[in-house]
Amino acid sequence: RRRTLLPHPSEPWRADYDWSRAMTLRGMRSRDARRWWVHVLGLGILLAMASISNWIAYDEWGNGIGGWVVLIMAFFMNLFAVLVIALAIRRLLMRLRYGLPRILFDRVPVRPGELLRARVITRGLSKADRLCVTLRYVVEVYGERKSSRGKGKQVIECQAHDTYEWVSEDVDAHLGGDGTLPIEFAIPESAPACQLHQRPARFWDLEVHAQMRGVDFVHRFAVPVYSLDLPAG
C-alpha cells in the first residue's frame, strides 16, 4: 500500500485500489472476467480427483459396506464435477459471445454529488430483450458457518445499500453508434467513499444484466467514488 501511495502523494485514493486500467483508453475489466488459466487449472484438478475416486470405487466394488461407501463418494464427486463443467461451459459461452467487457469512465475518480458517466464496451447487447443496470453500495460482512464436522468456517457476504437502477426493454435506444452502452447515474452528495483496502471492504458496484436467448450478459464493475478536495483526473 505504501509503495502505491508514494508516487501519488496528492492522490491518496490510488492507494485504495488499482484504478490504473480505469484511467486508460482501454478501460477497466469486469470483476467477473477472471483469468482463464485459473479455471482451467481448477477444472483439471477436479477431473483428476474424480478419476482417482472412480478408479478406487471400481477397485473396491463388491467389498461389502466399504465398497458401497466408496461408490457413494465417487457418485457425489462425479456429480460435483458435472456441475463445475456446466459452469465452465457457461463462462466459455459468455466469453465467446460477449468478449471481454470493459468500462471506460469519463473521469476518475467520481465525487459524491457528481454525475457518473461511463461506457460499457462489449458486443452482442443489441440482441438483448431486456436490460437492467444497477448501481449499489456494497458492504462486505464477515460471518462464520459451521461445516458438517462442526468446525467453524469464515464466509464473506455482500450486503447492498443505496441501490439505484434503471430498466429498459428497448435496448437499441440506449446503445451508442459503436454498440457501447452509455451509463449515467447521479451520485448522491451523501454517498460514502470506496474503502476497498479495508476489511470489511466497502465499495460502489455497477451491474449490467442483459436478458437474451441463450446465455445472459451479467457483469459487474467497480466504480471509483471518492470524496476529495483535489481535482479529479
**Residue 233: inside a domain:** no
CATH number of the CATH domain containing 151: 2.60.40
Asked if 15 and 71 sit in the same domain, the reply is no
For 132-156, the pLDDT digits (tens) are 999 999 998 877 766 556 666 666 7
Could you give the percent of the chain with pLDDT greater than 70?
Answer: 78
Q: Over the stretch 157-176, which tens digit does the pLDDT of each residue have?
A: 778 888 899 998 888 888 87
Boundary-marking domain end, from 76, 96, 116: 96
In a domain, 231, yes or no: no
Kindly report, residue by residue over 95-109, the tens digit of the pLDDT: 676 678 899 999 889
Residue 162, C-alpha cell as written in the block: 443505496
Q: Give yes or no: residues 121 and 6 share one domain.
A: yes
Task: Tell whether 92 and 105 lie within a shared domain.
Answer: no
**Residue 228, in any domain of the structure:** no
28 neighbors 19 (Cβ within 8 angstroms): yes
Q: Which domain holds residue 59?
A: 36-96
Q: Is residue 150 part of a domain?
A: yes
- Mean pLDDT value of segment 218-227: 91
Same domain, 144 and 201: yes
CB 108 within 8 A of CB 21: no
Grid coordinates of 84: 463445475
The number of distinct structural domains making up the chain is: 2
76 and 113 share one domain: no
Locus of grid cell 461408490:
71
Residue 214, SS3 per DSSP: coil
pTM, two decimals, is 0.69
Residue 6 has pLDDT above 70, yes or no: no
CA angle 203, 140, 206 (to 5 degrees): 35
- Is residue 8 domain-resident? yes
**Shared-domain flag, residues 144 and 204:** yes
d(CA 136, CA 159): 10
- Residues 186 and 91 grouped into a single domain: no
Average pLDDT across the chain, whole number:
79
Asked whether residue 24 falls in the same domain as residue 111, the answer is yes
